[in-house]
Structure 1
């Protein structure tokens, strides 16, 4: 019995040591951690950057890589880079916000694994944190997320549920199930500032733990419908939350709490990158050259000692190809620029990456059907087909035309269309126009046919 008691005490000591290592802040012990998480990559999230940065706070932003920059509703990659450069964590949320409980295993794997790979391909650290779209998951979804390499997955609910006195007031650290992180209800239009604050204070007065808060739109115009939260309430909450540090409550990203992501080094410089005088885009530049400039500042007032970079994707802290930045330089082909700065006090910034993709070469396109000088009777189906290719950004669509009239657009190879000429008898000049992702276009050689009665 004494031996068993000793083993239990030893085991508890190990758990306590691990717990302290995860939640220990720089200055004092804490028993309550808050994570600010944001779903879907909504365009309003870029507005949280100055709100968080001015208070020394960081969040976890779960993005759907397939929707990035697809409309004004979503942030472009350049804004997501700005969030990451400020120390915020970028997590995965599937390619197209797919409910993993309603699709096949193969589809779920593509949505989760491809999303993670897409984010990493944009130059971000490979994501370690995931959030289930629609907060829906099952055992298969958990296995898929873990199998794709994530370290945690956030659901919604299970903590501080309304009317549930038995519900916990916080997630545990470490969590009982890292792939089913429990949270308070999602923050929305109905959530008062007092309720949001109570999620934190309830944890503080119940022994502490991890309070993972879920936000969608941060705006004053219901930008994400009922899931929006007002800018005024959000900033008031951040001000209040910052003051909780005096009580030992700290804000950490999900990856930091899980012990798989590190915060930016304290006192390190911050380096920014621009491309041809504007924020860099991770889309394709329709250009043969992009002028890249780096600029660095130091938050603690120290002078920046140097900025080093590479253009071959290697680590500038160790690579023999690294250069000291002395002024803007030209990128003339698709390149990954990696860069960092140090200050005179010896603080070194975490290496950042920027993918710059160039494609100024037009695609190729050839009409393969119909054959020139062929006759067709009116109201019959005339097969139009074309082959198209692009060695750079890739063909996005082929448009079939009859003279200046657009007949059809096909976005998937093999490019084809069955055209019913109707009553349009006479000679017709058919062409195919291919467009690549960068916006370059090519028109095929014309094919002339005759439609008879």
Structure 2
């Protein structure tokens, strides 16, 4: 019992003594540390700022964007270039070699359709061809293509699905982030990841109304909360173009932007670097078959259905050179209520015309290599006219091919008929139209295109066809429908009635009169002067 009463007492005192000893030791060690801490100034660590991501994106593949690429290369920045594959190699646009140099420098190559149409007004199959075939072509050229931008920033939900189905990981819009130029009350940034990657929010397109201060403000406003700010540029030039920022302003902006990676946690990334995702296989859009024997392949041949741009549906304006054209529709017509109207004044050179829209088959007829075609149109005119003919490559690029012999002026509707040479290998689409290449007026109606095999007999004998098919050596064509113009949809003035007496007799085809140029040769200039990518709202 005594052992039992004394052992617990010893056990209680031992830990207490040990605790005193340890406390004394800790106090002795802590004293010099406390003195040292008192002598050392306190350090306040800066708060980590939220990351802001800037994407520098460029639409259409304008050649002057190389100036921006050069400025970014110097600062080791990477941009996203949205390419219209059908414009590659055209005057004023990137060449394949330019795209290769962008890829080598680490820039992203994205898609922007084959022919830059307004996707919101196209049938679903043409939308799929424009989006999918653009990506397929760019990928066949060796580029990793994951990002897409809608032309004209115009889309509908079904087209967002089309972009996804064609293998893209994102699709960019415009004007959904707040800036001095619009979207008041919107946020300053897109989320990462975005709520809808196929409707990426971005600032309004940059043009010459943006100052360096405006560009900076879009960054500093975003830095308050962090997030993603895609910028969109079209032309990088000092003058002679629209939707532009000067090379000086662009360079000043990226030089200001570069050090903010360290000072403000603001970094520059491509769209793909932000979105991520795997590279999906290329996918082609649906193929449009050629019309069968005896079937007119021209869509809206009498121009009775009106389109979205103040012109008949599936028809576009064309022209080049130094002259003053008026191209619209008129009445009375040969059949129905609408006919095409082309007038030229102040003629020096070039031409003007209406012709089926350059697209991938919704409007432009499909043709078969090796086949010949009978093209026809009714017209009356105050001057000679001829068919100007263009072909579309298998990748969607349009080029001038050849022209028919001349057709004489006529006071009343008469038919122009021409049988083409055999379509060369590598071409699957055609567009053609009667043109005016002198001072004068032309009214056209009731176009037709038939495979020569099974074609109905025309009202007159066709103009003689060349014995050998000319090579397709014309330049790459560029054509963008402008944004809708309310003035363009107004009813045009009534047509001036033709003279009661016939004008001087027109020369025989191939004999140039003194007042008109020679019939265009196969190497004639493009039917459309390369646009500045943005009349009435821009190309986007």
TM-score class, shorter:
0.5 to 0.7
Against the structure 1 CA distance between its residues 381 and 254, is the aligned structure 2 distance closer, same or farther, given a 3 Å change threshold?
closer
Instruction: Tell me what 1:433 maps to.
Output: 469
Identify which of 252, 257, 261 aligns with 2:274: 257
The match for 1:450 is: none
SS in 1 for 2:216: helix
Rounded to whole Å, the distance in 1 between the matches of 2:131 and 2:428 is: 25
Aligned-pair CA distance for 1:387: 3.8
Q: Which has the higher contact order (CA 8 A, sep 6+)?
A: 2
Preserved contact between residue 421 and residue 465 of structure 2 (Cα < 8 Å): no
Structure with the larger strand share: 1
Structure 2 CA distance for aligned equivalents of residues 429 and 145 of structure 1: 43
Name which of 193, 209, 213 aligns with 2:231.
213
How far apart, in 2, do the equivalents of 1:367 and 1:92 lie? 34
Give the 3 Å change call, closer, same or farther, for CA 385–97 of structure 1 in structure 2.
Answer: closer
Q: For residues 366 and 245 of structure 1, what CA distance do their matches in structure 2 show?
A: 60
Q: 1:236 aligns with which of 252, 268, 280?
A: 252
Residue 123 (structure 2) pairs with residue 104 (structure 1)? yes
Q: 2 CA distance for matches of 1:99 and 1:380? A: 33
Structure 2: runs of 5 or more not aligned: 1-47, 280-368, 375-413, 433-448, 476-540
Partner of 1:39: 59
Question: Which residue of structure 1 aligns with residue 143 of structure 2?
Answer: 124
Matches within 5 A, 1:194-213: 194-205=213-224, 207-213=225-231
Going from structure 1 to structure 2, the CA distance change for 1:387 and 1:52 (only over 3 Å counts) comes to same
Normalising by structure 2, report the TM-score. Answer: 0.46
CA distance in 1, matches of 2:189, 2:417: 66
Deviations 1:213-244 (A, max 9, x none): 01110110142x1x111111000001001111
Relative to structure 1, the CA distance from residue 109 to residue 431 in structure 2 (aligned partners, 3 Å threshold; closer, same or farther) is same
Q: 1:432 deviation in Å?
A: 2.7
SS at match of 1:202: helix
Q: Distance in 1 between matches of 2:191 and 2:428?
A: 49
The 1:133–1:421 alpha-carbon spacing in structure 2 relative to 1, beyond 3 Å, is same
Q: Which residue is equivalent to 2:152?
A: 134
Q: Which residue of 1 aligns with 2:197?
A: 178
1:30, CA displacement in angstroms? 5.8
**Alpha carbons of 1:103 and 1:85: their partners in 2 closer, same or farther (altered >3 Å)?**
same
Query: CA-to-partner distance for each residue in 1:43-84, whole Å, 9 max, x for gaps?
Result: 1112222211111001000011111112x2211121111111
Q: Distance in 1 between matches of 2:118 and 2:371?
A: 40
Where do 5+ consecutive residues of structure 1 fail to align?
Answer: 1-27, 263-363, 370-378, 400-411, 440-453
Query: Which stretch shifts more, 379-388 or 192-201?
Result: 379-388
Q: Alpha carbons of 1:123 and 1:165: their partners in 2 closer, same or farther (altered >3 Å)?
A: closer
Asked whether the equivalents of residues 129 and 150 of structure 1 are also in contact (C-alpha less than 8 Å), the reply is yes
Q: 1:432 to 1:183 in 2, by over 3 A?
A: same
Asked if 1 retains the 8 angstrom alpha-carbon contact of 2:79 and 2:269, the reply is yes
TM-score, normalization by structure 1: 0.55
Whether the 8 Å CA contact 1:157–1:183 is kept in 2: the answer is yes
Q: 1:130 touches 1:145 (CA, 8 Å); kept in 2?
A: yes
User: Kindly tell me: are residues 101 and 250 of structure 1, through their superposed partners in 2, closer, same or farther at Cα, counting changes over 3 Å?
Assistant: same
Distance 1:218 1:415, change over 3 A: farther
Contact 2:52 2:227 in 1 (8 A): yes
C-alpha contact 1:33 1:251 (8 A) present in aligned 2? yes
Secondary structure at the counterpart of residue 236 of structure 2: coil
Per-residue displacement from partner, 1:5-35 (whole Å, max 9, x unpaired)?
xxxxxxxxxxxxxxxxxxxxxxx98610000
Indicate conservation of the 8 Å contact 1:255/1:261, yes or no.
Answer: no
1:396 to partner: Cα distance = 9.0
Matched residue count: 279
- Cα deviation for residue 134 of structure 1 reads 0.5
Larger radius of gyration: 2
Rounded to whole Å, the distance in 2 between the matches of 1:165 and 1:52 is: 30
The 2-side partners of 1:103 and 1:39 are apart by: 20
